Structure 1
C-alpha cells in the first residue's frame, strides 16, 4: 500500500498516490529520469517508447505504421490478435496490470522481445540459459498495442503500433501457442511416443509450406508439455536403444552371453568407452587406479540391440 504523507489516504498503486497528490495537494510529480531504451543507430537514449518512436521518425526517416481499430467484443479482438501473431510470427504479452477506470479498462500489450535479460546467477537460480539464448533484446521494441475495453458497450478500441525495431523475426524466440500445445497433447493421448510426435510434426511441413514455430519442437518440448497436462509420453523403445545394466549379477550374466556390450566411464569432463573384452586388459594396467580416481568410480553398462559386425 502507498500512503499519503499529507493525509490518511492510502492507495494500492503508486499511480493512484501520484494522481491524489496532483489533484488533492497540487503537488508536482517528478518525472522518471532513467533512460532505459536507446536507438542503436545513434545510441541516443530515451525514457519513454513514444519518444523513441518520434526520434526514429524525425531523425532517421523511419516510417512507423499506426493503426486504429474497433471491435464489437473482446473475443473478436482476441481472434484478430491471434491472426496477427500467427501471420507475423510475433507474440504480444501483457507485462503490467490492467488500468481500470469507471467507463473503461485499458490493457497495454508489448512485443515479447522487449525487455532486459536478467542473469540467472545474480538471481541465485539454477535454471540454465536456453540453447537459443534469451528472447530479450535488452531494449524496447516499438511495436505494441493499447487496448481499451468500454464497459457500457463491451466494444474494444485498439491503437496498434505495427512496426518492430531492434530485432529480427526469429521463430526460436516464440512460445508455442495453445493450439500447438493441444495438438501435441492429443498425439500423446493417442499413444504416440515423444519421438513419433516430433517426427510427425516435422514431416507435416511440405516444401511449399512456411516454417512455423511448431516445426521447431523437440522431444524435450513434447515431454515437458505432456508433464504440464498430466500426460506421460508412451515410452516405446527404438530397436537401437540401449539397455541399462545396474547390478553385478546382470553384469556377470551379460558377460557370459553373446550380446554386444559397451562399458562407459562417466568422467566429469569427458566420456571413455570400451568393449567388455577390452575391459579385462584395461583392469590389468597399473594406471587403472589413477583412471578410476578421475572418473569418480562411476561405471555404466549399456547393452546394445545392434548385432551387426
Structure 2
C-alpha cells in the first residue's frame, strides 16, 4: 500500500490536483457518503468509482449493458480523505488500486470535459463538428476517455445541462404545458386554456376535455386586416400522442398566401367546441367577422358554429379536393369498374360547369341516370343525401369570382409543421408541438415583414409570368369588343370567354411587369380566372392588345404625376405603419427594457423570489425543477463569453494513389516467422491502448 500526505492552501488547488491525478491514473474518485462537519474541521472521503457492489434499480426487464457494470463487486483500496480547516486542506491519499485494471471504457467523462462540451452545444455547434474535433486530436495526444466520445454521450450532456429543448420545462407533459401557459400569461397569446381534470363554469366542456386556443398580437393584426376576405379552417392530427387535433383558422394575405391567425388544440371537434373556439376569437378582436368566403372540409360543425358567433359569409364553400376525395372513396359502391369511370367523369363535368341553368339541367339528368341503373342506386342514395341540396357549396357555377377553390393553404401549412419544424417525427409531447407551432408563426410573421418591405416571389407571381408566356401564342384576331367588355374565343375549343374591367385603381403587389396591370384589374369567365383566381392568358392577351390602341397611353395605363406621388406617399406610410406594428409583435416583452442596469435589477429581484421559493420547497421533484432551470446558465454564458472555435480538418488535394507505384514481391513468411506472428497476434491487455493508439496514428492525418 502506498500512502501520501499532502497539503493545499485552498480547496480549488485540491480540485485541480484531483483532476490531474484522475487523468494520469485513468481513474475516478467519488464521494462515499456525505461530508462530516465539526466545529474545527470538515472531512470528506473519496473512493474509487469502481469500488462496491452493483445494485439494480430496475425490474430486471432489460439486459445489462454490453461492457458490464462499473462496480467490481468487491472493495478497492484507493481512496482520498480530505480534511478542511480554516487555513489548510490536508489529504491522506491511498493510491494503490486493487481488483481491477485502469480501463478507459469504465471511466466517466470529467466535469471539465462535460462543461466544455456543454458550452459548445450551447453555442449551437453541430454534434458532428464536435466529434470531428475530438477525434482529430488523437494524433497528438494520449488516448483518453474524451476520445471515446459518442453521439449518445453528447445527447446525455445535452439533457443533463437542459440544452436539448427549451420547450420541455418538465418531464410531465401536462406540467410542462401548464408552466408554458403561466409563462406567457402577460403576453396574452393564450385566449383560452382548459386542462384535463378541471371543470370551468364559463365553458360547456367536460372534466376530461382539453382545449388550448393560441393567437398572438401579430396574428391578431393579420386577422383584423384580411379576415373580411377569405377564412379557411381545417384540422390535422399526429402532433401529439393523446389524440388532440390541431384546428387552424387561416386567412390569405395580399399575395394570396395563407397566414395562420389562430390555433385550437382540443380533443373535440363538434359544434359546441368550435363555438367556444370562435367565441374566444371574437372576445379578443372585439367585433364579429363577416368574410366574403368561408371554406372548410365537408363537416358542418365549423360553419354552424361560425354563424352562431360571427356573421354569415357570402360564399360558403367546400374544398374541391375534399369533395373529389369523398366521391372517389364512395364510388366503391358501384361494382363495375367501367361504370365507376363513367360516373366519375360525369361528376367532374357536373362540378366544373359554370352556367347555373346548364348545371341544373345536368344535375337532373345525372340523378335520373343513377336512379334507372340498379348498380348505381346505392351511390344515388349517397349523392342525393349529401350533395344534391348543397350544390352551392361544391359546384363551380356557384363559386364564380369567389377567389378560392381548395383548402391547400392549410394542408401545406400542416405538412410544413410536421415535416420541417418537427423533422417528420410523430410528436408524442404536446409542449414540443406547441413550440413548433409558435416557431412557424414567428417565421410567417418575418415573411410578412419581408413582403411589406421587399416583396416576395410567390406562387401567384410565378403563375402570372407563366400565363404571360402562354399568351404569346394567341392572336389579337380572337378579341372582339362587347357591350360590357371584350369577348375572346378559346384556342382549344369552340367556347368563348368574356373579360370585364373590375378594379382600375387597385395598387396590390400582384402585378405583371410586362403588361403593367394588376392582378385585380380584369376578370375573365374562364376556369383559370373565375375559379382558380389566376391572371389568365386571355387577360394578358387583352392587355397587350390594348397597348397597341392609340388611346391606351392616356386612358388605360397612365396616371397623372400627382396621383402617382400621392399613391407612393400613401404606400410608404402603410409600409412603415405595418412594419412597426408587426415588428412590435415579434419582439418578446422580456427584451423591451430601458437599460442593462434595469434588467440586472429585475433579474436580482427574480433571484430573490426564487430563494424565497427554495426555502418553502419540501420535495425532491421541486428541487429537480429548480436545478434543471439553473443547469444551462453556466455553459450558455461560457459560450457567449468565450466563443468556441472548432478546428475542422483541412481538405487535401485528391492524389491518384495507384500512379507510379512499383510492383513489390509478395511476402511469404517462414515457419519460424509464422510462430512469432501467431504468438503476437493477441496483445497483452496492458498494451491494448498503446497498440490502438498506434493504429489510429497511422490512419489519421
**Could you state the TM-score of these two structures normalised by the residue count of structure 2?**
0.23
- Decide which structure has the larger Cα Rg and report it: 2
Q: Which has the higher helix share?
A: 2
TM-score, structure 1 as length reference:
0.50
